[in-house]
């Protein structure tokens, strides 16, 4: 692998070797290239791709695939599978950080043409050119993965460049003082837009604990276990369990405003603990549970970071997890950690005296992805969450009659906010399955939709690709998917080819062509 190259070519040396790749041809069988790109997306680690025909010096052409992968540092491991998927028709695979697009939203072929298409001949050619320089003694060309150094721009510069120029005194007290003078010089475009006021009852709950306690107590919550077995609970039982956990947390000495880190991977443990924290005015943060506490992992790094950031708060986990942490090599990284077993917290009398929160109080924290470093803890107020929930429900025309299915982890803001808290505010039936259950058999997602007459669910683009692949190997299935009103695809780049194949394959089972809707993702132009 020649290195993970940015689409503007900035990380690739400029040489005659680069020029031999030529410009992409506009002609050719576009449909065939799109089909090849769709085939590569069967690899779950490929997030986006486009296949282009490029001229080569001999006067003919070959096919080059530009791919965006989840783990660029491991592209050497992924490439053999891509070659197999393409049946040898694609001669080169070029990893890029993103697919560049024009102002019209189509693939920017000119930008891709500037990306070096690696070949074994390039290294010696570059070495020879550099070695020919008089000031060079020895040179070696080494290929491999590298990430570009991050570039930082001060916010003051961005603001200054967006405002009209205003003379500033040389005696200004500081750069920020001069910025303030510019900002006061005249009107600037509004940076915040407000929609119409939300239509809601005057007596509508204004904080989350009131929402839960006013929900229809007999509305079902169905928990799917890892083996496919199901347990039927209700909003009423969720209230009771949350009140029991509230009693346990208060016995631990917690007071309103205290932080609580939730290390729980079972939904039937996590949701009562989350609500127990809200009922007490405590501020929970759901942190992904590492597969193991021995050895470094991204989830473990995030846990240690958040625990330190919040000044060593109480850690709530299953008793087995707490024992695992104490036996692990990570125990020394959590000195004097305070643990509370969810089983012990649940074994308490219900505490019905909920904290009187205000709408603008912090309800809980959510974590940024941490893709550019350590995750950030984002404060969300009761007003934030409820305004978004009610606005989204109004826009999507959802009601208490809907049936919601979520199988994504609740440490994701979409899962906890959109597919739980908004559901509680609506008062609708919910079905919750662990991600391992669906990823272990992608068609189980459709099984659950069929069995529970689900109206709304969601998944990132890769899950639709997994379903497409599974459908090819399992032809004889029977579903009734006519209940589906919306399947959201969000959270990562959205590939038209994947979604079209998904819809076409499931149309015979009653899935409407308008069912899949997009959000929080940029549709790729593979089929543009």
pLDDT at 4: 37
The first and second tokens of residue 64, run together, are: 């080059």
Is the sign of the CA dihedral 214, 217, 220, 222 positive or negative? positive
The CA angle 227-288-398, to the nearest 5 degrees, is: 75
Cα 329 from Cα 214, distance rounded (Å): 45
Cα 455 from Cα 393, distance rounded (Å): 13
Decide: helix, strand or coil at residue 279: helix
pLDDT at 5: 37
- Sequence-ordered alpha helix ranges (H) in 411-520: 413, 422-426, 435-439, 444-452, 461-473, 496-506
Cα 22 from Cα 31, distance rounded (Å): 22
Domains of the chain from N-terminus onward: 16-131 (3.30.300.30), 208-440 (3.40.50.12780)
pLDDT at 181: 59
pLDDT at 38: 86
Q: What SS3 string covers 201-237?
A: CCCCCCCHHHHHHHCCCCCEEEEECCCCCEEEEEHHH
Helix axes 496-506, 30-40, angle to 10 degrees: 80
pLDDT at 70: 81
pLDDT at 466: 96
Residue 413 gets which letter from DSSP? Answer: H
Residue 330 gets which letter from DSSP? Answer: G
pLDDT mean by block of 10 residues, the chain; 528 residues = 37 32 42 84 87 74 87 84 88 87 84 82 84 86 69 64 49 51 62 72 90 94 96 97 98 97 97 98 97 90 93 97 93 91 97 96 92 86 95 91 97 94 97 96 97 97 95 89 96 88 96 90 40
Cα 112 from Cα 22, distance rounded (Å): 11
436 exposure class (CB count in 10 Å sphere: 0-12, 13-18, 19+): exposed
N- to C-terminal Cα distance for the chain? 29
pLDDT at 10: 38
Residue matched to tokens 């891709």: 112
The first and second tokens of residue 379, run together, are: 């404060």
């Amino acid at each position: 692998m020649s290195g993970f190259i940015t689409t503007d070519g900035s990380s690739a040396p400029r040489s005659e070797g680069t020029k031999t790749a030529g410009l992409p041809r506009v002609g050719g069988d576009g449909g065939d290239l799109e089909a090849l790109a769709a085939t590569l997306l069967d690899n779950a680690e490929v997030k986006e791709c486009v296949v282009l025909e490029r001229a080569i010096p001999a006067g003919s052409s070959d096919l080059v695939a530009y791919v965006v992968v989840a783990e660029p540092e491991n592209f050497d491991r992924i490439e053999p599978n891509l070659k197999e998927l393409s049946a040898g028709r694609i001669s080169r695979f070029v990893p890029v950080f993103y697919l560049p697009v024009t102002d019209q939203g189509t693939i920017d072929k000119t930008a891709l043409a500037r990306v070096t298409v690696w070949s074994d001949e390039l290294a010696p050619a570059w070495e020879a050119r550099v070695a020919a320089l008089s000031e060079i003694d020895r040179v070696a060309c080494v290929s491999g993965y590298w990430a570009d150094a991050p570039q930082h721009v001060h916010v003051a510069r961005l603001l200054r460049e967006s405002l009209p120029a205003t003379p500033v005194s040389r005696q200004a007290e500081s750069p920020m003082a001069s910025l303030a003078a510019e900002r006061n010089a005249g009107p600037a475009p509004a940076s915040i837009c407000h929609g119409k006021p939300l239509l809601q009852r005057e007596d509508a709950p204004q904080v989350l604990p009131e929402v839960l306690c006013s929900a229809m107590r007999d509305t079902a919550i169905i928990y799917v276990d890892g083996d496919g077995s199901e347990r039927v609970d209700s909003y009423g039982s969720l209230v009771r369990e949350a009140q029991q956990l509230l009693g346990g947390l208060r016995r631990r000495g917690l007071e309103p405003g205290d932080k609580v880190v939730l290390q729980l991977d079972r939904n039937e443990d996590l949701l009562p603990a989350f609500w127990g924290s809200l009922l007490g005015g405590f501020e929970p943060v759901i942190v992904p549970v590492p597969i193991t506490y021995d050895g470094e992992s991204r989830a473990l790094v995030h846990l240690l970071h958040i625990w330190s950031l919040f000044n060593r708060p109480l850690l709530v986990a299953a008793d087995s997890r707490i024992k695992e942490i104490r036996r692990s090599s990570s125990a020394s990284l959590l000195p004097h950690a305070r643990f509370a077993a969810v089983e012990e917290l649940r074994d308490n009398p219900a505490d019905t005296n909920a904290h009187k929160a205000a709408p603008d109080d912090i309800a809980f924290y959510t974590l940024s992805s941490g893709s550019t470093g350590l995750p950030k803890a984002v404060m969300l107020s009761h007003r934030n969450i409820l305004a978004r929930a009610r606005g989204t429900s109004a826009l999507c025309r959802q009601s208490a009659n809907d049936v919601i299915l979520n199988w994504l982890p609740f440490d994701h803001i979409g899962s906890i906010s959109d597919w739980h808290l908004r559901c509680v505010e609506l008062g609708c039936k919910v079905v919750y399955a662990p991600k391992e259950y669906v990823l272990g058999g992608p068609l189980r997602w459709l099984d659950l939709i069929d069995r529970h007459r689900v109206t709304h669910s969601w998944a990132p683009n890769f899950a639709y690709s997994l379903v497409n692949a599974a459908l090819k190997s399992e032809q004889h299935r029977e579903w009734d998917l006519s209940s589906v009103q919306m399947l959201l695809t969000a959270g990562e780049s959205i590939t038209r080819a994947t979604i079209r194949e998904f819809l076409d394959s499931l149309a015979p089972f009653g899935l409407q062509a308008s069912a899949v809707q997009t959000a929080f993702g940029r549709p790729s132009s593979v089929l543009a």
